[in-house]
A and B are shown apart, each in its own frame.
Chain A
């Protein structure tokens, strides 16, 4: 215990591991790794009341031949990875998440809150890098209040107060400074991404409190796996819906990813 307390982040580590144990299935989730990280796990509650919403874009000529929203020069590779992730989802992640749904929803929501809170410094840092001062302050406020009053982030006590926080990552920061998406990239385990956002993800990973606290890649993979299972257990089968409805699920997700990221860089 003294060893644990020697490092300030150690308490954090204990919490993280506690949360991991709560997920009951750390072994399985290790194999699962992370997936669908690009999926809209927590896309709501951002947008800062979209102050820079431009009419030009919204009312653009619908006949304009704008070309694809994101280029895809390595489509065969991406489709193969898409297929791999698809199998991973149906054969491993989904069954595990479904079994894990026996845990009461309130507990799972709290775990989701905990994870969202612990990534907060990454969001705040990126908001700051994008010179979005209001969002930065909001995010720091949320982190402070939820980490204390909200018991280590288990409860989102700032919800419904109109404070949105910042939903920022380094991929968006690069976009903010004019760097385009680059080619579309489907990453095994991690899901849809792009060259820019992939680089962003690695950069964010290095400053993420979970990495800082554990300092070991295997721990990070384990924890991210647990987080993924928890997220999926709260998800209302979004992916199945897309697979069911779309003529070509691959291009549906590619386009949706491109639009979503473009939108997030703007707002």
Chain B
């Protein structure tokens, strides 16, 4: 009797392993939405948290965003054929710049948040890909935003965003391809570097104007 018990206990790690291997196969409709909802909720909590100072909030937002957005896959899909031609170094610098550029563009916008509701409306699943339909509900209009997500093990990460039917990746791809054709990959990377510097400078200027507001909790975000 005792021997049997110990045998069972000894098998536990094996059970756990088997279980964890089966789990990904159980991922079903709703998982992608749930993870997305979780990320959105966490970001909203940060945006509402007036005790955080700006640098701190930014750092936390970035880590939340990078957890849910797969910038590497986004980069791959953005460059498409040019990704195949690019050297590993070029790929790395593209991913890094792409990430920074998207963050520089959108972090400031997220900070304009003032209580709009984000609704998850629908999810469609096919194999390892899902499309989650959401909408930002504002006073005047609903802004439909669709997230395309891919499964990695138990995790779902975003690789494209469609706003009112316009896919960001498809949009970037079109203009980046033209730039690469005319100026080469290095030309594109230089342009991105310049754009990031511009955006970050502008962002700093905005904060410098109200250095107190960024630390003082009760000021509205803008």
The reply to whether the CB of A5 lies closer than 8 angstroms to some CB of chain B is no
Q: Are A69 and B174 in contact (CB under 8 A)?
A: yes
The reply to whether the CB of A259 lies closer than 8 angstroms to some CB of chain B is yes
Q: Are A259 and B171 in contact (CB under 8 A)?
A: yes
Give min CB distance, A169 to chain B, whole Å: 15
> Which one of A41-49, A81-89, A127-135 is at the B interface?
A41-49
**B77 touches which one: A40, A63, A247, A264 (CB < 8 A)?**
A63
Closest to B142 in A: A44
5 residue pairs from A and B, CB less than 8 Å apart: A62-B77, A245-B195, A252-B175, A254-B174, A255-B170
A65 to B85, CA, bound (A): 14
**A62 touches which one: B80, B141, B171, B174 (CB < 8 A)?**
B80
A189 to B143, CA, bound (A): 26
Would you list which residues of chain B between 163 and 207 have a CB under 8 Å from chain A?
164-167, 169-171, 174-176, 178-179, 188, 191-192, 195, 199, 202
Give min CB distance, A47 to chain B, whole Å: 7
Q: Are A234 and B140 in contact (CB under 8 A)?
A: yes
Q: Are B77 and A248 in contact (CB under 8 A)?
A: no
Give min CB distance, B157 to chain A, whole Å: 14
The reply to whether the CB of A217 lies closer than 8 angstroms to some CB of chain B is no
The reply to whether the CB of A55 lies closer than 8 angstroms to some CB of chain B is yes
A55-B126, A255-B171 known; A260+B164 contact, CB < 8 A: yes
- Interface flags for A255-267 (1: CB within 8 Å of B; 0: not) read 1100110111001
Most buried by B among A45, A59, A65, A109: A59
The reply to whether the CB of A246 lies closer than 8 angstroms to some CB of chain B is yes
Closest to B133 in A: A50
Give min CB distance, A266 to chain B, whole Å: 9
Which residues of chain A have C-beta atoms less than 8 A from B77's C-beta? Answer: 62-63
A44-B143, A63-B81 known; A264+B105 contact, CB < 8 A: no
A259 to B171, CA, bound (A): 8
A267 to B164, CA, bound (A): 12
**Total interface residues in chain B, CB < 8 Å:** 37
Q: Are B171 and A44 in contact (CB under 8 A)?
A: no
The reply to whether the CB of A68 lies closer than 8 angstroms to some CB of chain B is yes
The reply to whether the CB of A148 lies closer than 8 angstroms to some CB of chain B is no
- Interface flags for A14-56 (1: CB within 8 Å of B; 0: not) read 0000000000000000000000000010011101000001010
Q: Are B175 and A47 in contact (CB under 8 A)?
A: no
Rank and list the top 5 A-B pairs by shortest CB-CB distance, nearest first: A263-B165, A251-B175, A44-B141, A62-B77, A255-B174
A101 to B123, CA, bound (A): 39
- Interface flags for A103-127 (1: CB within 8 Å of B; 0: not) read 0000001000000000000000000
Which residues of chain B have C-beta atoms less than 8 A from A267's C-beta? Answer: 165
Q: Are B144 and A47 in contact (CB under 8 A)?
A: yes
Q: Are B141 and A256 in contact (CB under 8 A)?
A: no
- Interface flags for B114-129 (1: CB within 8 Å of A; 0: not) read 0000000000101101
Which residues of chain B have C-beta atoms less than 8 A from A246's C-beta? Answer: 175
The reply to whether the CB of B91 lies closer than 8 angstroms to some CB of chain A is no
Closest to B130 in A: A59
Q: Are A109 and B174 in contact (CB under 8 A)?
A: no
A64 to B169, CA, bound (A): 13
Known: A40-B164, A62-B160, A260-B166. 14 other contacts (CB 8 A): A45-B142, A53-B124, A55-B124, A58-B124, A58-B131, A62-B76, A62-B77, A65-B80, A244-B105, A247-B195, A251-B174, A252-B175, A256-B171, A263-B164
A44-B143, A245-B199, A248-B178 known; A63+B80 contact, CB < 8 A: yes
Give min CB distance, B134 to chain A, whole Å: 14
A7 to B77, CA, bound (A): 59
**B170 touches which one: A45, A234, A259 (CB < 8 A)?**
A259
Q: Are A68 and B174 in contact (CB under 8 A)?
A: yes
Closest to B141 in A: A44
Which residues of chain A have C-beta atoms less than 8 A from B178's C-beta? Answer: 248, 251
A59-B126, A63-B77, A69-B170 known; A248+B164 contact, CB < 8 A: no
A53 to B144, CA, bound (A): 15
Q: Are B199 and A244 in contact (CB under 8 A)?
A: yes
Q: Are B141 and A259 in contact (CB under 8 A)?
A: no
Give min CB distance, A203 to chain B, whole Å: 23
Q: Are B165 and A260 in contact (CB under 8 A)?
A: yes
Closest to A69 in B: B174
Which residues of chain B have C-beta atoms less than 8 A from A43's C-beta? Answer: 164
